[in-house]
Amino acid sequence: MQIVLPGALPDAAIAQALIPHMEEKAPRFTGWLGNARAELIHAAPADTFCTPYECWMLGHHGYRAEAGKPAAAGLAALHARVAGIEADPARPLWLAQLVHVAPAREGAALVPGTELEITPDESVALFESAAEFLEGTGFSAWHFDTQHWRIEPPAGYEPTTPSPFLVSITSVNDWWTQDIAGRPWRRLVNELQMLWFDHPVNQAREARGLRPVNSLWLYGGAAPSALTPDAQMPKEPLRIFRDLLGPALVQDWGSWLQALQHLEQQEFSQFNTMPKLVLTGSDRMAELSPGRQGLLTKLFKGKQDWRRWWSAHN
């Protein structure tokens, strides 16, 4: 069994202060940390163009980025696999996610399609309304799933784009490049934003108190064949608990500790022995496997070991 805990690795600035509270609220979990062999992996979003959790998932599915491309290039192929949607294994897969973009204190903020409660009918209506705007742009589009279009870009256009989720927790301005090559895509997105401003779909959504779907975010670029074939994937059971991610993103450490305590009582207590663990943070991840036991734990002071790497700066 392997357990993945996105948001479980706080930044070093707060990690040390959390330790005594963690030991009180989650003694089984901290015991696992103390007895584990830990491998820390640097995964800065500035390098990977995705979150450490997304980076780990890509590695878990066997993806290795081509030279000169960030890990995020494999995310469209990964989404297709997880969603169970067939895609040409040999062709680069680009997806455009339906999103909400709005002005924010520092530029523009993006809300990903996963948080917009888009219905299938809304998705189809927005796609059909965009058909005439695609003509002559060099881009072709097909409806892929409720939250995505499949995009075929013009020949030679291979942008480096981050994951929509990473953009949602940072700022659109950090990633919205102004290079000449990307001008046709930016023009298309701007036209669709104007088209959808008062689109009946968005009028109805706003009447229901929902955010309008007013933009697209392009990502991907790697072929699905870059992932390990399904038949060759590890058979080890995998469980992903996202309880810690939300509080970690907003740095609400009181709620984070409560979520950890809930996991301790409801999930971790079911294990008689330590499972493999994956903890991810904002720019790093840790892979933990069962390590020293019994007398060796006492001799090497395993608890002090985990305190050291837990709060270490990269």
Q: Are the CB atoms for 219 and 94 separated by under 8 Å?
A: yes
Percentage of residues of the chain with pLDDT beyond 90: 79
Which residues lie closer than 8 Å to 21 by C-beta, 6 or more apart?
Answer: 257
**pLDDT exceeds cutoff 60 at 5:** yes
Residue entry with tokens 């399904």:
230
pLDDT of residue 229: 87
**pLDDT exceeds cutoff 90 at 233:** no
Q: Each residue of 121-174: pLDDT tens digit?
A: 999 999 999 998 999 899 999 999 999 999 999 998 999 999 999 999 999 999
Of the pLDDT bands very low, low, confident and very high (cuts 50, 70, 90), residue 292 is: low
Sheet holding 276-280, edge to edge: 36-42, 284-290, 276-280, 2-6, 238-240
- What 3-state class would DSSP assign to 149? strand
Q: Each residue of 77-125: pLDDT tens digit?
A: 999 999 999 999 999 999 999 999 998 887 899 999 999 999 999 999 9
pLDDT of residue 61: 95
Of the pLDDT bands very low, low, confident and very high (cuts 50, 70, 90), residue 294 is: very low
Output the six-digit token pair for 233.
């994937």
Q: Where are the domains of the chain?
A: 2-50+229-310, 63-226
Mean of the pLDDT values across residues 26-44? Answer: 93
Characterise 312 by phi-psi region: left (phi > 0), alpha (psi -120 to 50), beta (else). beta
pLDDT of residue 17: 94
Q: How far, in Å, are 35, 214, 289 from residue 110 at the CA level?
A: 40, 10, 36
pTM of the model: 0.92
Residue type, 84: G
Output the six-digit token pair for 265.
């009582």
Characterise 56 by phi-psi region: left (phi > 0), alpha (psi -120 to 50), beta (else). alpha
Q: What is the mean pLDDT of the chain?
A: 92
Q: Which segments of the chain are extended strands (E)?
A: 2-6, 36-42, 94-104, 107-111, 140-145, 148-152, 215-220, 238-240, 276-280, 284-290
DSSP state of 209: T
Q: 222 or 67: whose pLDDT is higher?
A: 222
Of the pLDDT bands very low, low, confident and very high (cuts 50, 70, 90), residue 236 is: confident
User: For residues 219 and 87, what is the distance between their CA atoms, to the nearest angstrom?
Assistant: 15
pLDDT of residue 314: 53
**pLDDT exceeds cutoff 60 at 185:** yes
Q: 30 or 177: whose pLDDT is higher?
A: 30
Residue 288 backbone phi and psi in degrees, to 5:
-120, 135
DSSP state of 120: H
User: For residues 185 and 165, what is the distance between their CA atoms, to the nearest angstrom?
Assistant: 20
**pLDDT exceeds cutoff 90 at 2:** yes
